[in-house]
Each structure stands twice: as structure tokens, then as C-alpha cells.
Structure 1
């Protein structure tokens, strides 16, 4: 049961949009039983899927050793895709991890949930703390969305440092260029500098995800954006296969 983290230390890079669309691809293209686990207090994944958390402070309680995380999982409108939503209690999760003193608590819960799911995808908050450390110890692959800018290069360096800090056996990283507009010189130069990185274009269909509250593949399956996410998912599955 591979687990995939969509992570960046920089906000506004399309992280949640990536997580939702990749989870949809896992469920609808690969037909994998997929769990999208939202670890960001904004509950962006739940919003994009039209799902609200059941009650406040539920998301934090998942990590209590006496609770069963499966009871908070919600079905989505799409076959094979379930959501473990976030709420504002996630804001205190870093302190909770410090309190319980379990460095691999998230990894153990992921392993437990992996008995029911073929793929688990984490929508991670843009933080550098114990939450990100827990994610790195749980993930088999880290996807890093990077808009073409100098700040994105710095963000990638920080992610690499965070992943390596997880210790031996740390997960591989797959950088993905996001919001790419090849009409812009900076974007073309960034693409030429990193020709092997997957690309997701700047597209109105992706922006419409927040309006439709659906993954782009569900409402615009023939769009370039939908094809880009499908190709990215294929690249992810190949990378996971190679890492076995």
C-alpha cells in the first residue's frame, strides 16, 4: 500500500488541487481503493470534493491511540475514493505529536488504514515541524508542486532537506512544474532547465475545480489539464513500481 505526500513549504503552489486530482486519478484511472487524507487545517481537499468535516476537533482525535481513524472517513461522490477530512483542530497537531512522543504515529496509522486502501494520498500543510517530519516517515513518495520561479527552487531545497532529515530510507521526491504558461520567458527557461520533470499547465479548467467542487477529470475529462494530471499519475505509478 504505497502512500503519497503532496507537500511544499510554500503556500499557493496548487498543493491541494494536486492532491485532489491525483486521488481522483488513482480511484478512477487505476481503479485503486484510495484514501485522501487532509492534514491541512483549511480542509481544502474536503471543500474541493464538496465534503465538510463531521464535527470540530475530530481530525485531531484521529491520532489518539484509543480512537479508530476509520470512523471519521467519509465517502465521496466518486467510486473508490474516500476522504479523511481536516478541521481546525489540525492546527494543534504539532503540539499533540510532541505530547504523545511517537515519531512514527502517522506511519503506524497509515499502515493500519492500508489494510483497506490501495493508495493513501496526504494533502500536507506548508509547514516545517513535527507534522512534516511525521509525513516524511510515513510517505513512500513525495510530490512537490513547483511554479516556475526562483522562490520555488528555494522551496524545493527546503523540501529535500526535510525529507533527508527523516533518516535512512527516506522517500524519493518527484518535483512537478505547476501553473506553467509556455508563453512566458521565465516559464520556458524553467522548463528547459528541468526537461524531465512532469508539467501541469496553467489552465482555467484547474481554476474551475473550486467552482465545480470536483476534480478536473470529472467535469472536463478531455481538457489539457485532465490529461496532464493523468500523465502525472502514470509517472507516479511507474516511480512507485521502481521503488518496490
Structure 2
């Protein structure tokens, strides 16, 4: 399965989700490749911070030919996660055309909901050529016990894309793990953060393999 994580708005936790989802898939025994398609190279920066043996390989591919190259690059892997660019560009279109599934991380903020509009339009355009393309919103950096955390689901209901039944809460451990080049489960595999990532992976696999 090829999973692209995309949102034109920066700072939504796209790279954090990409890394930890890839780590969760790899932890289950799958062969996983992470493609860093963000010109900022945040996933590659994470890998450079790591002292331990890599959990999975990371390839930098910030060019709009991902959909043409991915069959060759990813031929030896069970899953490929694409950490997409932070803007709607030809690079984003290429990532969408390469993917089987698009995850759109959205923070519980009106600005994030509004910003999702452009990537939703890109996905709808891509489905003309790729009818099997699946997409989900992922509520990320949710703040517990707040009205805005609850209301974001209602706001996203206006879009023709479902919300994945697994939200990720704002937690310090995500920043701590990133600074060490680790996945959250490597910091504390019993943590709420690690459990939420596992739930995200399980929900994604359930939706794509009913």
C-alpha cells in the first residue's frame, strides 16, 4: 500500500505522522519505505538525528516524478509512506497520483479546516483518472476536553472525505522523540501517544482491507 500524507498548510504534524505511521507498520513486521517528498527534508533530518539502527529506509524524492518512479523505487516493500510537500504544487499532484491512500492531517483549528479545501480539490481531480484512490482526514494534535477539538469533526463533514476513526492528541512525547530521531513507541511503548499511533495504523488497515 502506498500512503501519501498531505496538506497544503504547514505545521499540521505531517512529518510526525509519516514517521510514526511508518514505524508502526515496520514494527508489525512489514517492509516499509518512507519517501521524503518535502523540499524541507524533515524526515531526512529526523533520520540524521538517529543513533540507533534505522527502523526503515528513507529516500529523499522532492520532485514531481514520484508517480513515475515509485514502481521501481518501491518494488521491494510492503508499504510506502510519502511525507508530502507543504504546498499544493506539481509535487503534491505527483504524490497523489502515486498513492493508493491519501491521509490529510488537520489540526482542530478553523484555519486548518479552510486550508484543506485545496488538497481536497486536488484529490477530487485525481479521482477522475484514478477511481480507486481512497482518502481520509486525520484529526491531529487534538487538544483534549476542548470545544474546538469536538467541533472540527462537524466542520470537516462539509467535505466529501471521511474522517479516519483514530485521532492523535497533542503530546510532548512527539517532540521529544523527534529530537532523538526515534518513534514514540521507542520512547515509551505503553504511552498514550504510542497507542494512538497503533490505533491509527489499525484503523487505516481496517478501512483499506475490509
Q: TM-score, normalised by structure 1?
A: 0.75
Task: Tell me what 2:160 maps to.
Answer: none
Task: Tell me what 1:35 maps to.
Answer: 33
Provide structure 1 residue ranges, at least 5 long, that are not aligned to the other structure. Answer: 53-75, 98-104
Aligned length: 201
Task: Tell me what 2:193 maps to.
Answer: 225
For residues 132-188 of structure 1, give each alpha carbon's deviation from its aligned partner in whole angstroms, at most 9, with x where no partner exists: 111111100001111001112122222210111223325211111111112322113
Task: Tell me what 1:62 maps to.
Answer: none
Task: Pick from 122, 135, 147 the counterpart of residue 173 of structure 1.
Answer: 135
Q: C-alpha separation between the residues in 1 aligned to 2:107 and 2:30?
A: 29
Q: C-alpha separation between the residues in 2 aligned to 1:51 and 1:3?
A: 25
Q: TM-score, normalised by structure 2?
A: 0.87
Q: C-alpha separation between the residues in 2 aligned to 1:85 and 1:221?
A: 28
Task: Pick from 24, 42, 58 the counterpart of residue 83 of structure 1.
Answer: 58
User: Which aligned segments of 4 or more residues in structure 1 are displaced greater than 4 angstroms?
Assistant: 191-196
Q: C-alpha separation between the residues in 1 aligned to 2:11 and 2:150?
A: 20
Asked if the contact 2:21–2:201 (Cα under 8 Å) also holds between the matched residues in 1, the reply is yes
Task: Tell me what 2:120 maps to.
Answer: 160
Task: Tell me what 1:185 maps to.
Answer: 147
CA shift, 1:77, in A, is 2.0
Query: Which protein shows a greater Rg?
Result: 1
Which range is displaced more, 121-130 or 40-49? 40-49
User: What is the RMSD of the two structures over their aligned residues, measured on CA atoms?
Assistant: 2.1
Secondary structure at the aligned position of 1:120 is classed as strand
Task: Tell me what 1:58 maps to.
Answer: none
For residues 91-135 of structure 1, give each alpha carbon's deviation from its aligned partner in whole angstroms, at most 9, with x where no partner exists: xx3xxx5xxxxxxx4223211233211111100111212111111
Provide structure 2 residue ranges, at least 5 long, that are not aligned to the other structure. Answer: 158-162
Q: C-alpha separation between the residues in 2 aligned to 1:144 and 1:123?
A: 11
Secondary structure at the aligned position of 1:9 is classed as coil
Q: Indicate whether 1:20 and 2:19 are aligned.
A: yes
Classify 1:204/1:23 alpha carbon distance in 2 versus 1 (closer, same or farther; 3 Å).
same
Which range is displaced more, 4-13 or 185-194? 185-194
Asked if the contact 1:148–1:187 (Cα under 8 Å) also holds between the matched residues in 2, the reply is yes
Q: C-alpha separation between the residues in 2 aligned to 1:216 and 1:196?
A: 20
Q: C-alpha separation between the residues in 2 aligned to 1:192 and 1:222?
A: 31
CA shift, 1:192, in A, is 6.5
Q: C-alpha separation between the residues in 2 aligned to 1:150 and 1:236?
A: 25
Secondary structure at the aligned position of 1:174 is classed as strand
Q: C-alpha separation between the residues in 2 aligned to 1:162 and 1:209?
A: 32
Asked if the contact 1:145–1:175 (Cα under 8 Å) also holds between the matched residues in 2, the reply is yes
Asked if the contact 1:5–1:122 (Cα under 8 Å) also holds between the matched residues in 2, the reply is yes
